[in-house]
Amino acid sequence: MSDGRVMVFAPAPQLTVTIEQHHDEPELHVHPGGQGIWQTRMITSLGAKVTLCTAAGGEVGRVLVPLMADLPGVTLRLVNREHGSGWYVHDRRSGTREEIAERPGTPLSRHELDELYNLTLAEGLTAGIAILSGPAHPSVIKPEVYGRLSADLKANGCRVIADLCGRYLAAVMEAGCTVVKISHEELIKDGAAADGSTRELMNALVKLNTDGADAVLVSRAGEGALALIDDEIYTVTLPKLTAAEHRGAGDSMTAGVAATLANGGSMTDAVRTGAAAGALNVTRHGLGTGHVDAVRVLTERVRLTPIKKAS
């Protein structure tokens, strides 16, 4: 049973450097980033605690580690790496995001991977709920690690939430998991859906459920999500909000699901909160951010409409 805590597996965090324009002056923003970090921010914003299992090192790591350690509501469980962590530099002064340069980081060594696996397994079983987040680049860590983690966590009573696609999701599905969150673009890219039509996406939801996901949540850019809960497929109607930054909405959706489950909520409540968190995130420039009171208000405006039995 979770005590309001979520374990987030983020094997390859990045140092993010963003140049913004504020009135007539440029501003430099330096933060920890990557999928697991953005999920962590939103989870703690929603009142749950996070144990962040990660690895960092090298010159970039010397900057990155203190930033991660300062994240509020987070217990950092770190494997110190011998070589460099990933990073990127983006310029947003024009109002759009321009990639200046980036590196995903070096692959985890066998020793680093063993250490990270052991602490992740222990912390996941302690928390009772785990998010498996993906790396910035597949060269950093192999999909098989995710498959083993999912199998070991699930076999020992931990609820696993997979925010993955491609070979990483396939590896996790061999063991099964509690929730799969995926975007419609990722389903199309993986060949699980021919297009973004509701019929194709519903077929993909049913397939993921049959393959071992207890619940499935598919985000659709610019449209409401689709959810499969207890053998019922729902459309998820989101509040209409003006977007400032589309990136990060899916990660916030996953975070909302995890935080709600960690605090004892139902899967239906988790999906509604996740949808609200994702909708709010697009109104902000910071990824994985949002005020808990705003999420609660928006959650009341999220509607789940049943459209089809999954079986």
Tens of pLDDT, residue by residue, the chain (311 residues): 457 899 999 999 999 999 999 888 999 999 999 999 999 999 999 999 999 999 999 999 999 999 999 999 999 999 999 888 999 999 999 888 899 999 999 999 999 999 999 999 999 999 999 999 999 899 999 999 999 999 999 999 999 999 999 999 999 999 999 999 999 999 999 999 999 999 999 999 999 999 999 999 999 876 789 999 999 999 998 777 665 555 557 898 999 999 999 999 999 999 999 988 888 765 554 444 556 788 888 888 889 999 877 66
In this prediction, residue 241 carries a pLDDT of 62
**Domain with 154 in it:** 5-309
Task: Report d(CA 253, CA 277) in Å as an integer.
Answer: 6
- For position 104, which CATH number holds? 3.40.1190.20
* pTM of the model as a whole: 0.91
Question: If you ran DSSP here, which 8-state letter would residue 64 be given?
Answer: H
Please count the other Cβ atoms lying within 10 Å of the Cβ belonging to residue 136: 20
Task: Report d(CA 45, CA 58) in Å as an integer.
Answer: 30
Residue 259 is inside which H or E element, if any?
Answer: helix 249-262
Residue among 177, 182, 188, 175 at smallest CA distance from 144: 175
Helix 143-155 to helix 166-173 angle (10° resolution) is: 30
Query: What 3-state DSSP class applies to 289?
Result: coil
Residue 121 near residue 152 (C-beta atoms within 8 A): yes
Q: What are residue 132's DSSP bridge partners?
A: 9, 162
Q: What are residue 151's DSSP bridge partners?
A: none
Residue 285 is inside which H or E element, if any?
Answer: none
Report the length, in residues, of the chain. Answer: 311
- Rg for the chain, CA atoms, rounded: 18
Which two structure tokens, joined as six digits, stand for 21? 């324009």
Residue 163 near residue 179 (C-beta atoms within 8 A): no
Task: Report d(CA 164, CA 145) in Å as an integer.
Answer: 13
Q: How many domains does the chain have?
A: 1
Residue among 294, 218, 204, 223 at smallest CA distance from 257: 218
Q: What are residue 81's DSSP bridge partners?
A: 57
Residue 221 near residue 279 (C-beta atoms within 8 A): no
Task: Report d(CA 255, CA 36) in Å as an integer.
Answer: 9
In this prediction, residue 96 carries a pLDDT of 86
Task: Report d(CA 129, CA 50) in Å as an integer.
Answer: 10
